[in-house]
Amino acid sequence: MSETVRSETPFGLIVPERMGKAVLGIAEQVGGMGVLTGQLVARMLPPRIDRFELIRNMHKMGVRSVGIVSSTALFTGGTIIIQAAPLVVRFGATAIIGWAAGFAMLREVAPLLIALMFSGRVGANNTAELGTMVVTDQLDALRALAIDPISYLILPRVISMIVMLFALNVIGDLVALTGAVIGANALLDVDFALFMDSFLTMLEAWDFVLSMIKSLAFGVMIAITSCYFGLTVTGGAPGVGRAVNSSVVAAAIGIFVMDYFSTFVLK
């Protein structure tokens, strides 16, 4: 016979109790990420980084992501033109399509979409890898060998993610621009010279710098969340799955929150 488990919390307090638990859970996670960040900063003074691990991770996380980021950026650039085309034609604003597409891509669309793609591909994979290492005692094995897992394992991954997302954002911006140029030429009959004229004269260097600042901030967010959720896995293989899910959701929320505040502060 199945046994019914009854909550001892009075009915009226169930919602506040659950909200309180959720708040405490979030506080614990944010605090844990803060502690991890502190540990990473401590290992940077002076830097103790395994160069082989750094290069291996930069290749795995960055070089192998170029294809997926480029294809995302190319189609995003083209999509912006498709969306803008009816309005541009209605108002006869083909002369400023280069500025409009560049402004939207550099300031918002490219860093945001590339970061989300990176989080889904690299961040999720990183959480799964670290989580698997935790549940199979590989992290304990490192410690038993007198090797600090934060210096050896985590720091190279965090640096790789930040640096490679920055690099991918530069590539993504250029590819998205190419997609926009192709789209503008095909749909609006705007040639390359006209497109680049408004792009170069109306956009400022700050627009590009802002894109880079955002990608750095998103890189930090993805790196810390993916490592934190990987390192705190419990419950074997199902726990790894849950951690990957939590990591991707937390990184996405963090990216959007950071995007809002960075846009507000650096507008």
Which parts of this chain interact with other proteins (CB under 8 A)? 56, 129, 132-133, 136-138, 140-141, 143-148
Scanning 44-154, the segments in alpha helix (DSSP H) are: 51-61, 66-91, 97-104, 110-118, 124-135, 138-144, 149
Return the residue matching tokens 């790894």: 240
List all residues 6 or more positions away from 121 whose beta carbon is below 8 Å from its beta carbon.
65, 68
Q: At what angle do helices 155-188 and 97-104 cross, to 10 degrees?
A: 160
Q: Pick between residue 152 and residue 256 the one whose CB is nearest to other proteins.
A: 152
Q: Pick between residue 72 and residue 226 the one whose CB is nearest to other proteins.
A: 226
- Phi, psi at 116, each rounded to 5°: -65, -40
Distance CA 169, CA 167 (A): 5
Q: Pick between residue 89 and residue 147 the one whose CB is nearest to other proteins.
A: 147
CB of 226 to other proteins, least distance (A): 16
CB of 60 to other proteins, least distance (A): 9
Distance CA 133, CA 226 (A): 14
CB of 131 to other proteins, least distance (A): 12
Q: Pick between residue 62 and residue 111 the one whose CB is nearest to other proteins.
A: 62
Q: Pick between residue 239 and residue 258 the one whose CB is nearest to other proteins.
A: 239
CB of 146 to other proteins, least distance (A): 4
CB of 152 to other proteins, least distance (A): 8
- Verify cis geometry, omega within 30 degrees of 0, for the bond prior to 46: yes
